[in-house]
Chain A
Amino acid sequence: MNKQTLLLGIFAALLVAFPAFAGNYLLSVATLILYFAYTGQAWNVMMGFAGQLSLGHALYVGVGGYTAGAIFYHWGIGPWAGLWVAMALCVALGVIIGFLAFRFGISGVYFALLTIAFAEFTRIGFDHLDWTGGPGGLFLKVAQRDTWDVANFRGPPLMYYYTILSLTVFAFLLCFFLLKSKAGYYWQAIRENEEAAQALGINTFRWKMLAVALSAAMTSVSGVFYAFYYNNLFPEQVFSIGRSIEIILGPVIGGVGTLFGPILGAVVLTVLSDSLTELLAAIGWEIPGIKQVFYGVVLLAVVMFLPNGIWPAVAKRLRL
């Protein structure tokens, strides 16, 4: 067994055992970290592997969450069924965006702006969609926190923790195998030089579409998780560009295109954000906005001094 697998095993075991010695607060922080790790991993498939910069991933989180949430709210059908509808819708959206963009040769900055436009367009659409509550939001009945109602995905925080942990592990393994598969190598070729990839006979259109569809499908699941964990959805919140940036921050800080980057980035950002909140509360500096200013400064520093993210630097130190 090599060093990497050993460390990974220890890390996974720690995560499984974590709730045994963590209180409710720490458990909620860990759930948030894993949520960002999973969603970041999903984004990473599109940007980190295939080089297609999406700045509108909140679209898939929002549509995924709203679909499963509304199905549960209106018809009482649990998320295990709603999930597939949500996923199908998000894949369809991703395919539409990808098809339009790649067919018409839109790439780079223009592609990124197109993804923002679709997310914003959808946000305003949901603001006017009465079926999901419009701007007033969609509220799911708050769960009874002591029983495990797995069928409807309602239960204690522990259930959500293990769910998102499994999702994160699944996404990690999926990405691990993807990177070593034909698709992974094709994607990386496209990311590094699309024209060269095309010249080698890779159908770049098809493989880029696959990356978008897969990323959309994975992100829709985090939307469903979000809806049932927080129980409320507002268009202004779930679709805003701020949400899309939040999703991207983890992988960018951790290291775009790496397997551990999204996880490490999510840990760093969430821990930083939460400890800043605590620290500022402790010294009585609770001015609105001050936390985000610190956050922005840290982000600036990381982007400037660690251009490839934290993980490559850490990996080099640890000789992994």
Chain B
Amino acid sequence: MSFDLVVNVLIAGTLTGLVYGLMALGLSVIFGVVRVVNFAHGEMMTVAMYAATVLFAMLGLDPFVVALPVAAAFFVFGYLLQTALINPFITRPEHSQFMLLVAVAIVMVNALLMVFGPDARNVQVDYQLDSFEIGKILVDKARLYAAAAAVLTAGGLFLFFKFSKTGKAIRACADNYLGAKVVGLNVKKYYALTFGLGCVCVAIAGCAMVLLVDVTPPLGPAYTLLAFVIVIVGGLGSMGGALLGGVLIGVSEALAGLFIAPSAKSMFSFGLLILVLLFRPQGLLGRR
């Protein structure tokens, strides 16, 4: 096994990991503010992926072009979901919230199955098979663009939370529910806004991911688990942690696929998760 191959796999793993990271960032932001674990996260991701394949098949639009309208639609969806379903549940026990989102996930994944059937779908654009060559190192164009989209979105979100007035208000709600209410913030509205933003992350990650893998309905639950692993490893509620966790999982999956067996790749992710939970339960970059 050559050194170049390992480097290539490492780079590919890192780039895919950044897209994973953006997906997980959505989960992390939602948990960090609303304190609800979105058990329908991967299912939302597959909905975005299907949306990209449909728009590609019907209008021939590039997934990066449709990412914006899909993100807008997802924002509205997330806002409404939080307002209508989840806001009444924020004071209920965890297992109750869990069942609510599991029900949403079951409806989503099976609605996809009803509409699209069990066959895999994908998009085919001309740059998908191209790659940049730097010496012996090959970087897939599609993978690089997908990772760039993920980094840009995550950066934008980070700046929004750090500097905008709304972003500060959301952080206030996350910090102290009662305090935010006392100073006159409409906490539930900001929760809805946050859920919408989390869904935007998922939408863009989904549109980018569809360039890298084929989409089938069972991918939904698999991505939900993957997003959990990533945010726990990185730190639930930490934005940088989600990206770091995504890259770690992306790289470990790629290396496990190379050295052991592709089917064993998630065993490494779960092994990493168990280790992190035991020795640093708040995650690598998380605070408790």
A residues neighboring B (CB under 8 Å) = 47, 53, 55, 100-101, 104-106, 108-110, 112-114, 116-118, 120-121, 124-125, 127-128, 135, 241-242, 245, 248-249, 252, 256, 287-293, 295-297, 299-300, 303-304, 307
Q: Mark B180-201, 1 if CB is under 8 A from A, else 0.
A: 0000000000000000000000
- Cross-chain pairs A/B with CB under 8 angstroms, 8 sampled: A121-B267, A121-B271, A124-B264, A289-B111, A289-B114, A292-B109, A299-B99, A304-B85
Q: Are B232 and A241 in contact (CB under 8 A)?
A: no
Cβ of B88: which chain A residues have Cβ within 8 Å of it? 304
**A303 to B236, alpha carbons, bound, how many Å?**
25
**A266 to B88, alpha carbons, bound, how many Å?**
26
Nearest CB on B from A173, distance (A): 25
Cβ of B95: which chain A residues have Cβ within 8 Å of it? 47, 53, 248, 252, 256
Contact of B277 among A106, A120, A292, A303 (CB under 8 A): A106
Nearest CB on B from A118, distance (A): 7
Chain B 70-122 residues near chain A, CB threshold 8 A: 85, 88, 92, 94-96, 98-100, 102-107, 109-114, 117-118
Cβ of A112: which chain B residues have Cβ within 8 Å of it? 94, 98
Cβ of B96: which chain A residues have Cβ within 8 Å of it? 252, 303, 307
* Interface size of B in residues (CB-CB distance below 8 Å): 44
Cβ of B217: which chain A residues have Cβ within 8 Å of it? 289
Asked if B228 is at the interface of the complex by the 8 Å CB criterion, the answer is yes
Nearest CB on A from B261, distance (A): 8
Cβ of B111: which chain A residues have Cβ within 8 Å of it? 289, 293
Nearest CB on A from B98, distance (A): 7
Nearest CB on A from B35, distance (A): 9
Q: Mark B262-283, 1 if CB is under 8 A from A, else 0.
A: 0110110011011001110100
Q: Are B281 and A295 in contact (CB under 8 A)?
A: no
Nearest CB on A from B189, distance (A): 21
Contact of A300 among B107, B113, B229, B263 (CB under 8 A): B107
- Other than the given A248-B99, A289-B109, A293-B110, 5 more pairs (CB < 8 A) read A106-B278, A118-B274, A121-B274, A288-B117, A307-B92
B residues neighboring A (CB under 8 Å) = 37, 85, 88, 92, 94-96, 98-100, 102-107, 109-114, 117-118, 217, 221, 225, 228-229, 232, 236, 261, 263-264, 266-267, 270-271, 273-274, 277-279, 281
**A70 to B244, alpha carbons, bound, how many Å?**
41
Name the residue in A117, A125, A299 with the highest tally of chain B Cβ atoms < 10 Å from its Cβ. A117
Cβ of B266: which chain A residues have Cβ within 8 Å of it? 120, 124
**Does more than half of chain B's interface fall in helix, strand or loop, or is it mixed?**
helix
Take A288-B117, A293-B107, A297-B107 as given contacts and tell me if A128 and B264 are in contact as well, using a CB distance cutoff of 8 Å: yes
Nearest CB on B from A144, distance (A): 36
**A289 to B111, alpha carbons, bound, how many Å?**
7
- Chain A residue, CB-CB nearest to B228: A113
- Chain B residue, CB-CB nearest to A300: B103
Cβ of B85: which chain A residues have Cβ within 8 Å of it? 300, 304
- Chain B residue, CB-CB nearest to A97: B274
